[in-house]
Amino acid sequence: MAIVTIIGAGMMGSALAFPARENGHEVRLVGTHLDREIIENCKAKNQHPKFNKAFPEGMKYYQIEDVKEAIAGSDMIIGGVSSFGVDWFGDEILPLIPEEIPVLSVTKGLVNTDDGKLLTYPDVWEAKMEKLGKKLSINAIGGPCTSYELVFHDQSNVAFCGRDMKILEKMREIMTTDYYHVSLSNDVVGIESAVALKNGYALGIALTIGLLQKEHGVDCDLHFNSQAAIFGQAVKEMYRLLDYQGAATLENMTVGYGDLYVTVYGGRTRLVGILLGRGLDIDSAKAELNGVTLESLVVAERVANAIKTAAKLGKLNLEDFPLLLHVDEIITEKKPVRIPWEKFTFRYEK
């Protein structure tokens, strides 16, 4: 039996308690300073307030002040914070973790640099730990998997990525079930970039749903030609960005495109995209979704900024990214939705 400690009682981190505990491991769920009510609810009902299913019996729950006790003796730590908790996790939690305990992060995102590069969160955290003279094994999860469907035990296929394949194999052994399937990759940049890049593109696809509802009413039938057209353009732009990252492999694209699909049909990004398509500006859409974490907006803006910087340096061409740059205009400049359909066409002669 292993000891799995999950730090951050958000939906995805908490959902991973199901395969870990159902495999017979001891699971400790630690809430952040923002999760106090969630942990109290879990202690009282053995159920996360956002899930319609109770946790497996035998779970252990901790408030943040008891995090050192929860970490002690763990075989692996799962970082369950959102991208808004990246700095807190790096500053407050990682320094507490002994070097022999590997970390598996659920956090998806990228950080753009002044020279147009895109850094993964494991890159950022590892650099921070190096300054402290500490070396941690920081790994991450990517792939098409929503928290509520994982709790439902829908068949899910994800990828664990990290530098050390033996550590990844150990974590896969702890977490794999008959419904949670795990691929392994030592291409951290590729997996992490693929699953982060999809955010702005999923929002772009959802715009078409909102535009349809704006014209024909919110109860109108869904149409898929427009969604498919945007999906195709999204795939093209994501490939170019993965290539820019030196990570345009079939495996990375499979993980990224799968995550794009599930985000369009089941993610929070879908909600904000629909509202923007209906005609709301970004401030009104955020107000409408009060309390919903919208990491996708941050990632989309950062990637767009990286594209603009790289274009100025002659490394990328702005004309190759009409969809993401329009999404960025909608988010940062509050421009109305006017999807540039003609910029998505191509002429190919063999």
Name the nearest CA neighbour of 336 among 234, 214, 228: 214
Q: What is the pLDDT of residue 122?
A: 97
d(CA 261, CA 295): 17
The greatest distance separating any two alpha carbons of the chain, rounded to the nearest whole angstrom, comes to 66
Asked if pLDDT for residue 293 goes beyond 80, the answer is no
Q: What are 213-230's pLDDT values in tens digits?
A: 999 999 999 899 999 999
Q: What are 159-197's pLDDT values in tens digits?
A: 999 999 999 999 999 999 999 999 999 999 999 999 999
Asked if pLDDT for residue 324 goes beyond 90, the answer is yes
Environment class of residue 348 by beta-carbon count within 10 Å: exposed (0-12), middle (13-18) or buried (19+)? exposed
- Three-state SS across 126-177? HHHHHHCCCCCCEEEEECCCCHHHHHCCCCEEEEEECCCHHHHHHHHHHHCC
d(CA 162, CA 140): 7
Strands 103-105 and 138-142: parallel
Q: What is the pLDDT of residue 179?
A: 98
Q: What is the pLDDT of residue 291?
A: 62
d(CA 177, CA 338): 45
Within 8 A by CB and 6+ apart from 246, the residues are 189
Mean pLDDT, residues 335-350: 96
The interaxial angle of helices 225-244 and 295-312, nearest 10 deg, is 60
Whole-prediction pTM = 0.94
Dihedral sign for Cα 138, 144, 146, 147, please: negative
Q: What is the pLDDT of residue 267?
A: 72
Environment class of residue 114 by beta-carbon count within 10 Å: exposed (0-12), middle (13-18) or buried (19+)? exposed
Q: What is the pLDDT of residue 284?
A: 93
Question: C-alpha angle with apex 193: 145 to 4, nearest 5 degrees?
Answer: 50
Q: For the chain, give the percent of residues with pLDDT over 70.
A: 99
Q: What are 273-286's pLDDT values in tens digits?
A: 999 999 999 999 98
Mean pLDDT, residues 319-332: 97
Q: What is the pLDDT of residue 216?
A: 96
Q: What is the pLDDT of residue 222?
A: 87
Edge-to-edge strands, sheet with 156-161:
60-62, 26-30, 3-7, 76-79, 103-105, 138-142, 156-161, 180-185
Within 8 A by CB and 6+ apart from 68, the residues are 96
Within 8 A by CB and 6+ apart from 334, the residues are 281, 282, 283
Q: What are 131-170's pLDDT values in tens digits?
A: 999 999 999 999 999 999 999 999 999 999 999 999 999 9
**Which is higher by pLDDT, 141 or 294?**
141
Cβ pair 245, 263 in contact under 8 A: no
